[in-house]
Amino acid sequence: MANVHASAIVLGRHGVLLRGPSGAGKSLLAAEGLVLVQSLGLHAGWIGDDRVELEPAGNALIARPAVNLAGRAELRFSGIQAVTHIAAARIDLVADLVLTEELERLPESIDPVQVEGITLPRLALPREDRPHALAMIVQYLLPRNGIIAS
């Protein structure tokens, strides 16, 4: 099991691993995604914030909150907040927050990434533009029934 610097959430039926450097906006993007999906009456919740445990299980990647951080999320300039969390969930998407100038304007495909030996789809998202980043996550998940529970 690997302890990594990331946030992880569940939107609808799918787990999303949010990665990026400290201060990139992972926690705030996660919180905004949860508010959006919950406002639609759909399931959404925190797995973990800032540090998460990742473990391969067959062909899946399972995320759990770091034990000492479970049930807490740090929202910059708001402090550490108590949050309801999910004990474990499968990760279906990796979202990397990167500088806008590092992004391709018109990427032709979504490149997969290996995380703990598991291949997952990866979105590179503009860390300076959270609304756009959130829209890209939702746009990716909707056609896959990722937000809408069946």
pLDDT higher than threshold 60 for residue 41: yes
Query: Are the C-beta atoms of 23 and 67 separated by less than 8 Å?
Result: no
Which one has a higher pLDDT value, 140 or 78?
140
Average pLDDT over residues 25-29: 92
For 135-142, the CB contacts below 8 A with 24+ separation are 137/11, 137/16, 137/33, 137/93, 137/95, 138/11, 138/33, 138/36, 140/93, 140/110, 141/11, 141/12, 141/14, 141/16, 141/93
**Residue 78 DSSP class:** T
Residue 111's CB: how many other CB atoms inside 10 A? Answer: 10
Which one has a higher pLDDT value, 100 or 63?
63
Paired tokens of 43:
């399931």
Average pLDDT over residues 129-134: 92
Cβ burial of 49 (10 Å; 0-12, 13-18, 19+) is buried
pTM of the predicted protein model: 0.90
Considering the chain, what is the average pLDDT of its residues? Answer: 89
Our CA dihedral for 55, 24, 94, 107, rounded to 10 degrees, sits at -160
Chain segment 71-109, per-residue pLDDT in tens: 888 876 777 888 888 999 999 999 999 998 888 887 777
Domains of the chain as residue ranges with CATH = 2-144 (3.40.50.300)
Given pLDDT bands bounded at 50, 70 and 90, which one contains residue 150? Answer: very low
pLDDT at res. 35: 92
Residue 146's CB: how many other CB atoms inside 10 A? Answer: 19
pLDDT higher than threshold 70 for residue 147: no
**Residue 11 DSSP class:** E
Average pLDDT over residues 6-30: 94
Please tell me whether residue 141 adopts helix, strand or coil conformation. Answer: helix
pLDDT at res. 149: 43
